[in-house]
């Protein structure tokens, strides 16, 4: 009996010591930090974390006028003006895909391939959907099968 108690106390002591000694996970970088790294030219940042941090970030001021001017300049092939207006939009909302697309087109037409490829990379990252966890895929599959069963029941298609 005493041996069991001793073993139990030692096990609790060992396992509690292991949890105390574990390193704390590093805090996730903020949206502003990730955007500044991306603007500096770092392409190996965690884009998934950038997108998740964007969802939690505060929005900037309204850029509707700059977007309109950007689109007008792009359609009239005034690429320098389109880049200036797109930069104003991106200063407020760096995840704005319209501004990145305008910059991509303008830089491509001005034969500035480095900048064009950079905005193409950002567009590709923002257009690519985040992976859906397996539990969500399973839930969606269940929902589809339930919806199918319901439609079969409602339309009397049971064999």
Residues 95-131 pLDDT 10s: 888 999 999 999 999 999 999 998 898 888 877 776 6
148 vs 94 pLDDT, higher one? 94
pLDDT at 21 over 60: no
Query: Sign (positive/negative) of CA torsion 106, 111, 112, 114?
Result: positive
Considering the entire predicted model, what is its pTM? 0.62
142 vs 30 pLDDT, higher one? 30
CA–CA gap between residue 126 and residue 105 (Å, rounded) = 17
87 vs 33 pLDDT, higher one? 87
For the segment 57-69, the average pLDDT, to the nearest whole number, is 83
Q: How many CA atoms lie within 13 A of 136 on its CB side?
A: 4
pLDDT > 70: what percent of the chain? 63
């Amino acid at each position: 009996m005493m041996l069991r108690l001793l073993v139990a106390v030692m096990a609790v002591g060992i396992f509690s010591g292991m949890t105390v000694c574990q390193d704390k996970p590093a805090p996730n970088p903020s949206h502003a930090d990730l955007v500044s790294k991306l603007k500096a030219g770092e392409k190996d940042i965690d884009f998934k974390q950038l997108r998740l941090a964007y969802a939690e970030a505060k929005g900037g001021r309204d850029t509707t006028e700059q977007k309109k001017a950007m689109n007008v300049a792009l359609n009239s092939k005034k690429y320098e003006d389109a880049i200036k207006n797109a930069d104003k939009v991106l200063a407020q909302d760096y995840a704005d895909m319209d501004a990145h697309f305008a910059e991509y087109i303008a830089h491509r037409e001005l034969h500035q391939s480095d900048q064009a490829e950079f905005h193409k990379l950002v567009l590709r990252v923002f257009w690519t959907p985040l992976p859906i966890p397996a539990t969500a895929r399973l839930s969606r599959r269940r929902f589809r099968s339930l919806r199918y069963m319901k439609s079969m029941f409602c339309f009397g298609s049971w064999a």
